[in-house]
Amino acid sequence: MVVDYIQRPKSRFLRVKCNDCENEQVIFGSASRKITCIVCGRTLAEPTGGKSTITTHILEVLE
């Protein structure tokens, strides 16, 4: 039996939807800077020590 011991990153890209303008945007789940909506400027995610705090709706986790 062969087992894969290849480590994979825990960080993912996320498709999110802005609560104000309904714009869909792809963001990085472990961003090191504040992420704002490109249409209305609302904050979508804020950095913490590791993973970002997502302040909007997550539609999909991209592989």
Taking only the tens place, the pLDDT of each residue in 3-45 is 678 887 788 999 999 999 999 999 999 989 999 999 999 999 9
- Binding region: 18, 21, 37, 40
Q: Could you give the domains of the chain? A: 13-62 (2.20.25.100)
- Binding region for Zn(2+): 18, 21, 37, 40
Report the Cα 28 to chain-centroid distance in Å. Answer: 4
pLDDT of res. 41: 92
Nearest to residue 51, comparing CAs of 11, 17, 13? Answer: 11
pLDDT of res. 24: 96
Instruction: Tell me the per-residue pLDDT of 48-61, one tens digit each, with 9 for 90 and over.
Output: 988 899 999 999 99
Write down the pTM of the prediction.
0.78
